[in-house]
Chains A and B, each alone.
Chain A
């Protein structure tokens, strides 16, 4: 080996702790006096760290490619739909079997499933179609794409909507009707009560979603639930044409109050971001010169809120309706179309009295 190379070797041995105490002493003495050597040591240290990072990065990339969520979230959610569906079908079949087996047993099974049933709205029959159409929606850019697991109206899978269909197919009105009436007095045929709790299987699947629902009974909700709200958004949320033609994207954040009567008031819109088609955020100058576009975005967002039907107001722990605040983000994206979402971090408990 050339002397330069043996020096590198010496450094490597020093760094990896292969030298014995005596050798370390000698080497460190040399280090103190020799700046060049010192530089070499730190260079090699950095190089080794960089090499490790490189390999680690490659490993992360490969794991990311394997994780469904890393690739496209759409596929992840359709996965959930399938999973959720499978669980629900399983439940349904178990119920069905017990029903036919023994009437006595049925009552028991009702008891044991009651936790689940509480969470499931039972009255709509066309759910499987619904789930399908929701999936298709995701493919067309004009539609509302809701995919963040944080969001309230994210994926169909979160709502266990399919379950209603399956269970009601096996015809067991006994179990729910009472529960349902309590929760959803306004709509006889509405597509469901908002789910209060997640089933255990769901909980295992994704912890972060559970947080969203923990206090759901207390929060103000859109009449008919989030799926209904999603439909409303799809119908009413539009990309402002002037902005679309100019290729400008934006995110609007709307805070608003829901009174004890369910009326939306005090809408406070704010454009938190405007950017070019390539994602470059606007500088102050651009914002100043594009006031009209900003108004167009805000106009559309507030229009959507203003035309919403009455909400179901938030309730305090005593069950009395109270005023509450909500925050919805409207994202206008050139490629993915318009989105509306809520973040779990924004949820507040209603002000109690």
Chain B
């Protein structure tokens, strides 16, 4: 598939197809991570995080591709693995092909924000299934509130909407509750 096609289908929201294509890059990334001291689990995790980052980047309307998509993905993976290796406080053997070296600025990668987002993801784990479904359908699948109300059998569009904001309020509240304990633990 051509790069422009990949970008096009990601923007159209058909991410699953794009992921299938991009996943072909995994063995290469995996071999690199394994040979520089990572294990299977972390390789997979890093590749998935990189995919997410790539898709988020591509979805931004301002995104312009300066290299091949696969090269870009490879660069992101290299960056992510370097980050992770630094976090583990060991000297990574980074003998990756350096055809695209990305920095945090290139990617708009903010460590604090990433941590915050990871935390929010865990919070989303603990809200009710129904809430999660609404979020997924509305924000990710870009379904209208009307379809969602029908699909999840709400009595009306309005009650679905109310439910959505209640969920949101709850999640934000949970995040706020978590914060203070964290700031105590950290120093």
Contact = CB atoms under 8 A, between A and B. Distances in A.
Interface in B142-187: 161-162, 165-166, 168-169, 171-172, 175-176
B136 A60 contact: no
B175 A43 contact: yes
Nearest to A327: B95
A63 B93 contact: no
Contact of B19 (A5, A51, A60): A60
Contacts of A150: 27-28, 31
B26 A70 contact: yes
Tell me which of B15, B31, B95 has the highest count of chain A C-beta atoms within 10 A of its own C-beta.
B31
A113 B154 CA distance: 65
Contacts of A54: 121, 124, 132, 135-136
Given A53-B117, A53-B121, A281 B139 contact: no
Contacts of B28: 149-150, 208
Interface string A62-79: 111011011001000000
A281 B123 CA distance: 31
Contacts of A73: 27
A351 interface: no
A287 to B, nearest CB: 11
A107 to B, nearest CB: 40
Contacts, number: 133
A232 B146 CA distance: 66
Interface residues of B, number: 51
B131 to A, nearest CB: 9
A159 B28 CA distance: 19
B140 A148 contact: no
A50 B37 contact: no
6 contacts: A43-B176, A51-B139, A52-B56, A55-B141, A60-B48, A67-B23
A130 interface: no
Tell me which of A49, A66, A329 has the highest count of chain B C-beta atoms within 10 A of its own C-beta.
A49
Contacts of A149: 27-28, 31
A149 B56 CA distance: 29
Closest 8 CB pairs between A and B? A50-B120, A55-B140, A51-B135, A148-B31, A5-B165, A55-B136, A8-B165, A63-B19
A345 B96 contact: yes
B171 A47 contact: yes
A273 B37 contact: yes
A343 interface: yes
A343 B35 contact: yes
B52 interface: yes
B174 to A, nearest CB: 10
